[in-house]
């Protein structure tokens, strides 16, 4: 299904307060454009200048009341086990973006400054949510992160661990295009394009359908619109590398093979049901999100990867 121009305009133009009344499913659709319509880096930067929002405009008073009165232990625990992956994920994608700056096209460097600022703001958004709504305390960003660490699911470790390794490799060898492709596959295709957007859909559908957590809904929907720019910029970069040398597709496939192998191994279990989702539906969402990102760059999966994708266990984190 393609979006009507009306719905695209609403997502494109609305301010922070308006995003609180925008359907998250429209914002998720807004991420996906065909390869030929991937915006240029400077167009994305211009969009950032218009869409940038102030995290301190959000008032979490109603969210705090909803958290105490309208949610129960099951829904609070499910919510925390999902949101904590984001709390830590946003911080990591902020802190680990810098090595990409050195070896990318000049126009992408300009846009990447805005991407980095977005991730810092998303980190502050979660810091405020955990302080103002969940009630964690601490002197700085890391204190509050330490407080939510207990809710982190073991599946966080796989993709974010791989990103940490690739960040370190790229820091030492920032012009290596194989490394750039592996990094972009892990960061922009998988963590932002699949994990983040899936988790946004689950928690924001819950907030929308149960009419709870309005400031969380507003800020996280704005975060989702920011992710549309990050993913589109990342897909433009991936496409550009593939145009230079189509054999780089091997780096995409190899990286996805690693991610899907980690995703298939899990001993713990996360309860989605209190938020209205079955595990099968979450898995189908992951597959759909990955196929949509790959369609944006014109890449298909070999049969072994399709098979692995159908076995992946959902990871609850994002950036």
Residue ranges binding Fe ion (CB under 5 A): 90, 119, 122, 192, 227, 230, 319
Q: Tell me which long-range contacts 18-23 makes (C-beta under 8 A, separation of at least 24).
A: 19/53, 19/218, 19/221, 19/222, 19/225, 20/214, 20/215, 20/217, 20/218, 20/221, 22/221, 23/208
Nearer to Fe ion, 66 or 90 (CB): 90
* Nearest distance in Å: CB 122, Fe ion: 4
Please report how close the Cβ of residue 155 comes to Fe ion at its closest, in angstroms. Answer: 18
Torsion of CA 289, 133, 11, 88, to 10 degrees: -40
Nearer to Fe ion, 85 or 319 (CB): 319
Closer CB to Fe ion, 32 or 122, in the complex? 122
- The minimum distance between CB 235 and Fe ion, in angstroms, equals 13
Q: Which is nearer to Fe ion, 187 or 249 (CB)?
A: 187
Between CA 192 and CA 43 the distance in angstroms is 20
Distance, CA of 309 to CA of 87 (rounded, Å):
26
Q: Which residue in the block uniquely carries the two structure tokens 């925390």?
A: 80
CB of 47 to Fe ion, least distance (A): 14
Q: Quickly tell me which residue has 């129960």 as its tokens.
A: 72
Residue 289 beta carbon to Fe ion: minimum distance, rounded to whole angstroms: 14
* Cβ-based nearer residue to Fe ion, 63 or 192: 192
């Amino acid at each position: 299904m393609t979006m009507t121009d009306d719905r695209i305009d609403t997502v494109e133009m609305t301010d922070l307060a308006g995003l609180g009344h925008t359907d998250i499913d429209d914002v998720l659709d807004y991420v996906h454009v065909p390869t030929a319509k991937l915006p240029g880096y400077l167009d994305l930067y211009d969009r950032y200048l218009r869409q940038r929002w102030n995290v301190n405009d959000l008032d979490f008073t109603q969210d705090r009341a909803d958290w105490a009165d309208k949610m129960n232990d099951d829904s609070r625990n499910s919510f925390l086990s999902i949101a904590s992956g984001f709390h830590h994920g946003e911080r990591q994608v902020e802190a680990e973006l810098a090595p990409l700056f050195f070896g990318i096209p000049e126009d992408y460097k300009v846009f990447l400054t805005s991407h980095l600022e977005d991730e810092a703001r998303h980190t502050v958004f979660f810091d405020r949510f955990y302080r103002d709504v969940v009630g964690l305390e601490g002197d700085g960003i890391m204190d509050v992160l330490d407080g939510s660490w207990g809710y982190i699911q073991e599946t966080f470790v796989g993709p974010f661990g791989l990103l940490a390794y690739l960040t370190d490799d790229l820091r030492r060898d920032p012009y290596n295009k194989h490394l750039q492709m592996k990094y972009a596959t892990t960061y922009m295709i998988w963590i932002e394009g699949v994990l983040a957007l899936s988790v946004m859909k689950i928690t924001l559908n819950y907030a929308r359908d149960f009419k709870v957590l309005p400031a969380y809904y507003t800020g996280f929907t704005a975060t989702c619109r920011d992710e549309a720019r990050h993913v589109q910029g990342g897909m433009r970069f991936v496409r550009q590398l593939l145009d230079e040398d189509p054999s780089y597709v091997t780096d995409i496939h190899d990286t996805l093979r690693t991610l899907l192998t980690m995703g298939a191994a899990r001993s713990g279990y996360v309860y989605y049901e209190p938020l209205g989702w079955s595990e099968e539906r979450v898995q189908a969402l992951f597959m759909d999100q990955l196929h949509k990102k790959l369609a944006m760059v014109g890449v298909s999966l070999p049969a072994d990867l399709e098979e692995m994708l159908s076995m992946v266990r959902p990871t609850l984190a994002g950036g």
